């Protein structure tokens, strides 16, 4: 079986796991940190804003079952691609939306998808999600992994209270 990696940042990593976790072809979704200048940062360090990291998910997938293009399309529907300064209630660089590409092919797919979303008129504001080269990815602490399964009440209250679920309903649900 062939495996590839996708890394997406879309605000709180808790909310970025579930949409990908149960899809066919997904082998693993890990919450973590990427894009910073400190090796093996802790959650507290990332939240302090001093490490330069962004909360993200690393997705290990089988490209023969699910394509990178499909993952990018799902990614868009979990975020507000017009907000470069965080996502929903989570503000700041550690919550900025980013597609981190692992290859030139992934970069091309992400850029084309971004252009198509902008041209679609789905959003009136510009699509500002960054597309950047993948950096070292550091898994978050164990209590952050699969949070939606471990703490469903907290997860559901957070994803609703943060404004994420309402935004998705308003902009993506038909």
Residues serving a catalytic function are: 12
Which helix (H) or strand (E) covers residue 156, if one does? helix 152-161
Decide: 130 and 97 in contact? Cβ < 8 Å.
yes
Please work out, in degrees rounded to the nearest 5, the angle formed at the alpha carbon of residue 118 by the alpha carbons of 117 and 121: 90
Query: How far is residue 59's CA from residue 4's CA, in Å, rounded to a whole number?
Result: 8
Phi and psi torsions of 109, nearest 5°: -60, -45
Decide: 33 and 141 in contact? Cβ < 8 Å.
no
- The count of C-alpha atoms lying within 13 angstroms of the C-alpha of 71, restricted to the half-sphere facing its C-beta, is 35
């Amino acid at each position: 079986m062939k495996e590839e990696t996708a890394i997406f940042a879309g605000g709180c990593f808790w909310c970025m796991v579930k949409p990908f976790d149960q899809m066919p072809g997904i082998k693993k979704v890990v919450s973590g940190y990427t894009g910073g200048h400190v090796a093996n940062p802790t959650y507290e360090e990332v939240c302090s804003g001093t490490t330069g990291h962004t909360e993200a998910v690393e997705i290990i997938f089988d490209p023969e079952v699910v394509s990178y293009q499909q993952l990018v399309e799902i990614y868009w529907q979990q975020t507000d691609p017009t907000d470069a300064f965080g996502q929903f209630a989570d503000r700041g660089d550690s919550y900025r939306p980013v597609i981190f590409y692992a290859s030139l092919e992934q970069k091309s797919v992400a850029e084309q998808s971004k252009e198509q979303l902008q041209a679609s008129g789905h959003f009136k504001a510009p699509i500002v999600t960054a597309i950047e080269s993948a950096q070292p990815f550091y898994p978050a602490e164990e209590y952050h992994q699969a949070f939606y399964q471990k703490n469903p009440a907290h997860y559901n209250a957070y994803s609703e209270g943060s404004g994420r679920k309402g935004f998705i309903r308003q902009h993506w649900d038909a």
